[in-house]
């Protein structure tokens, strides 16, 4: 900085001087240069050079005519700029937008008020990640009405980070669902009301590893939601302690179980005009 601050720039606006260092071990190059615009501006770059890039055109009022009481004229002033400056200026808009979201929208550094240097760095890095996530989410779901403002996104993300259950689920094996989540009302057969179901669900007999009081969880065959219940008939066929579990949701209305009966146990479907399920204890 002392050298670049005192180096002479005889050409005025658009003139530049630079220093380059090369790492002998890796061959990496680092460039430090000063460029004269309205004032001196110093840059450090590892991805460009100080050759002429696209010049900067500015329209300014200048007194070209020196006659008394002559009007000023609009003059185009062209300033040469290095390619490194052009690369920097092309990203200034995005950097300013990101900083506004981080400082005025999230306000994490102001709310946390970390005093130590390492905590301040970690807080700032976390804030950058959060803002990047919000911009990415907004870009992917362009036009969607999930979150109308950044504040809503930050609040929902905070709720999920505070009330998350990741630590409680990390003890079981994480397996990717065999297929993506689908709408529960698309390409699925009709259901059977719970009052007419001849089969039911039962809690699985298997437990989480090293947690004897916690039942094993799986994804429902119909809606892909999490469940600790299995089909009583299917599980009795493969064995209660078998590795394969026939997961079925245990929810109000038993919609998934009714659809599973129609798909896997059509012989157990009630009669078309049945008003209630069969009481097997009274069957002779």
Q: 73-128: per-residue pLDDT in tens?
A: 999 999 999 999 999 888 888 889 899 999 898 988 888 888 888 998 999 999 99
pLDDT, position 243: 86
Q: Are residues 29 and 43 in the same domain?
A: yes
Residues of the chain with pLDDT under 70: 143-147, 165-189, 252-254, 274-284
SS3 sequence of the chain: CHHHHHCCCCCCCCCEEEEEEECCCCCCEEEEEEEECCCEEEEEECCCCCCECCCEEEEEEECCCCCCCCCCEEEEEEECCEHHHHHHHHCHHHHHHHHHHHHHHHCHHHHHCCCCHHHHHHHHHHHHHHHHHHHHHHHHCCCCCCCCCHHHHHHHHHHHHHCCCHHHHCCCCCCCCCCCCCCCCCCCCCCCCHHHCCCCEEECCCEECCEEEEECCEECCCCCCEECEEEHHHHHHHCCCCCCCCECCCCCCCHHHHHHHHHHCHHHCCCCCCCCCCCHHHCC
Is 283 within a domain? no
pLDDT, position 193: 78
Is 281 within a domain? no
Q: Are residues 134 and 203 in the same domain?
A: no
For the chain, how many structural domains are there in total? 3
Is 86 within a domain? yes
Q: Are residues 53 and 30 in the same domain?
A: yes
Question: What is the domain range of residue 271?
Answer: 194-275
pLDDT, position 267: 81
What's this model's pTM, rounded to 2 decimal places?
Answer: 0.43
pLDDT, position 152: 84
pLDDT, position 179: 46
Is 185 within a domain? no
pLDDT, position 146: 64
Q: Are residues 86 and 6 in the same domain?
A: yes
pLDDT, position 184: 42
Is 168 within a domain? no
Is 176 within a domain? no
Q: Are residues 47 and 112 in the same domain?
A: no
Q: Are residues 82 and 107 in the same domain?
A: no
> Which of these three, 107, 138, 162, is where a domain ends?
162
Is 284 within a domain? no
């Amino acid at each position: 900085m002392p050298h670049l601050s005192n180096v002479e720039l005889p050409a005025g606006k658009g003139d530049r001087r630079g220093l380059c260092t090369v790492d002998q071990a890796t061959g990496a190059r680092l460039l430090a240069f000063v460029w004269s615009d309205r004032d001196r501006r110093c840059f450090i770059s590892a991805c460009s050079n100080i050759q002429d890039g696209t010049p900067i055109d500015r329209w300014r009022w200048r007194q070209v005519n020196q006659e008394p009481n002559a009007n000023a004229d609009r003059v185009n002033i062209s300033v040469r700029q290095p390619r490194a400056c052009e690369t920097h200026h092309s990203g200034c808009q995005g950097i300013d937008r990101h900083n506004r979201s981080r400082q005025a929208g999230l306000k994490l550094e102001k709310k946390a008020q970390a005093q130590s240097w390492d905590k301040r760095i970690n807080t700032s890095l976390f804030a950058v990640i959060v803002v990047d996530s919000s911009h990415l989410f907004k870009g992917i779901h362009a036009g969607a009405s999930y979150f109308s403002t950044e504040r809503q996104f930050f609040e929902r993300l905070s709720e999920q980070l505070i009330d998350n259950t990741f630590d409680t689920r990390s003890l079981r094996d994480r397996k990717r669902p065999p297929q993506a989540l689908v709408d529960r009302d698309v390409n699925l057969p009709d259901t059977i009301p719970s009052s007419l179901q001849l089969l039911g669900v039962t809690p699985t007999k298997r437990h989480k590893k090293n947690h004897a009081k916690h039942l094993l969880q799986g994804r429902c065959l119909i809606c892909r939601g999490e469940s600790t219940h299995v089909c009583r008939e299917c599980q009795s066929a493969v064995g209660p302690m078998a590795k394969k579990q026939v997961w079925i949701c245990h929810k109000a209305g038993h919609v998934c179980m009714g659809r599973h009966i129609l798909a896997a146990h059509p012989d157990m479907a009630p009669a078309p005009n049945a008003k209630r399920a069969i009481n097997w204890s009274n069957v002779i």
